[in-house]
Amino acid sequence: MVLIMLTLLAGGVVAWLIEGWHRDMPRWISLASCTLSGLLAIPLFFSSGAEHIVLSGVSSVWIEVIDVAWIPRFGIGFLFAIDGLGLLMVSLTIFLGFIAVISSWSEIDHQPGFFQFNLMWTLAGVVGVFVSLDLFLFFFFWEVMLIPMYFLIAIWGHENRAYAAMKFFLFTQISGLIMLVAILALVLGYQAQTGEITFSYFDLLGHKLDPDLSWYLMCGFFVAFVVKLPGFPFHTWLPDAHTQAPTAASVLLAGILLKTGAYGLIRFTVPLFPEAAADIAEVAMGLGTIGILYGALLAFAQDDFKRLVAYSSVSHMGFVLVGIFAWTEITLQGSVMQMVAHGFSTAALFMMAGAIQQRLHTRSMAAMGGLWQEAPRMGAIAMFFVVAGLGMPGLGNFVGEFLVLLGTFGVNKLIAVLATLGLVTGAVYGLIAMQKVFQGRRESVSGIPDFGVRELSAMIPMMVGLTLMGVYPQPIFDMVEPTLASLYELTGINPTTWVGSIR
């Protein structure tokens, strides 16, 4: 687990240094370190050394736990722990890292070594976020992943990159600082009651705070994660950042950085402050629903292909937010599924947008059209991912959205009904984009090259993955079920055996 991170960090450094030797070497190094870290993750899937930790009366299962003192003065430790949910997210991260390296294969001419360095360090930071269970350590990685991402956008971005990079950084950083205050208040509140200072998730979980304070602290965590998610009304950084970022950064941003927000909500916000979270559940679900509809509406109005995909992300992540705050096992499973599926489908669409931009030197859909005739493989693949995005049964996104809606219906009918509208609007903007870009008449035949082996080798695994998730999602359910069940139980609601019933 720690080795995965070190591999990525070392890979980044080596890629940077090796640039002086040969300009093509950095990307091979990145590919190698992604492969190596992927290989390192495999044993975790089969690990038998499961550790049971009792969290305020609820037993939870962890695949691996590492705890080394770091700053004993504050009870801060290198507390890394990975469970099914964490492993799923780490796997997604490494896989999309792979895709990001491939997608930027021929895009970056300027300082390729430093580019790969930033790419690898972003990945390492995100992996860190998914496995850190010391709140200080978590915050540390939460911030660490921003800096290389800032550089990716600021150095290799498009025409308006300075503005986009700054906005991205400011939004996430300020919300992060609010979370830091909340973390500290939680820790010091715990210290005031027990006399012991600790940042360990395991200790802080289940600790009863004063309800008022608890509400404020929950808001601190909530804001940080919802900005990252991004939920309405904190989503405004996303379209700018996505549009201006280079393809690889867009892939990472959409694929995994947004997922850290959802992960944080599931892992921290709700379990640490269940009562307070329950208080604002309706509001949060409302925000999610607004995000779904508003994101779809704005996506429909865009001319810039990347902006369209960015707004569709807002819409899709709205489902995740609704699912998390409905807080039933069905919706949680749905949210996790949606996170993974959205990671695949959006990453693929951003890669598509990058590929088109590289070929046509524009992101404006008005200047496209009729691409299918010239590049049938691109057309077909784009069709696949657009259809996945609009929630076609048989693909991963459908499973996620369906479960979220199914579970939410039992909690709040109005929200479920409104959110369902998102499926319709999703079809509208998805198909409109498809028509504008790939169908219609091509005005001038420019002879653009179709997808080659390199791009296909990135797209096909994602298509296979989405299809598998769509037709047989059970392995993923099984993987995260223990985590969700213990979290669910922790918050004081009895677990149900719904996974079995779905079989």
Applying CB under 8 A, the residues found at the interface with other proteins are: 70-74, 110-111, 136, 139-140, 143-144, 146-147, 150-151, 154-155, 162, 165-166, 169-170, 173-174, 177-178, 180-181, 184-185, 188
Say which DSSP state 361 is in.
Answer: S
CA 444 vs. chain centroid, Å, equals 39
In this structure, how many other beta carbons lie within 10 angstroms of the beta carbon of residue 461?
A: 15
Cβ nearer to other proteins, comparing 224 with 375: 224
CB of 147 to other proteins, least distance (A): 6
Side-chain-side CA neighbours of 327 within 13 Å: the count stands at 26
Shortest distance (Å) from residue 55 CB to other proteins: 24
> Of the two residues 39 and 170, which places its CB atom closer to other proteins in the complex?
170
Q: Give the residue with the Cβ less far from other proteins, 39 or 162.
A: 162
Give the CA distances from residue 188 to residues 56, 73, 172, 196, in Å, rounded to whole numbers and listed in that order. Answer: 19, 13, 24, 9
Q: Say whether the peptide bond before residue 112 is cis (omega within 30 degrees of 0).
A: no
Query: By the 8 A CB rule, do 315 and 291 touch?
Result: yes
Closer CB to other proteins, residue 141 or residue 327? 141
- Smallest gap, in angstroms, from Cβ of residue 110 to other proteins? 7
Which residues are CB-contacts of 110 (< 8 A; sequence separation ≥ 6)? 155, 156
Alpha-carbon span 277 to 263, nearest angstrom: 15
At 358, list the tokens.
């590289």
Q: Return the number of the residue (68 or 366) whose C-beta is nearest other proteins.
A: 68
Q: Cα separations (Å) of 496 from 329, 334, 488?
A: 7, 15, 9
| Omega of the bond leading into 43 within 30 degrees of 0 (cis) | no
Helix (H) or strand (E) holding 59, with range, is: strand 58-62
> With contact defined as beta carbons under 8 Å apart, do 145 and 108 qualify?
no
CB of 472 to other proteins, least distance (A): 40
Q: How far is the CB of 74 from other proteins (least distance, A)?
A: 8
Residue 144 Cβ vs other proteins, minimum distance, rounded to whole Å: 5
Q: Which is nearer to other proteins, 98 or 150 (CB)?
A: 150
CA distance 274 to 492: 8
Phi and psi at residue 497, to the nearest 5°: -105, 45
Name the residue nearer to other proteins (CB basis): 136 or 402. Answer: 136
Which of residues 117 and 202 has its CB atom nearest to other proteins in the complex? 117
Compute the least distance from the CB of residue 30 to other proteins, in Å.
19
CB of 9 to other proteins, least distance (A): 11
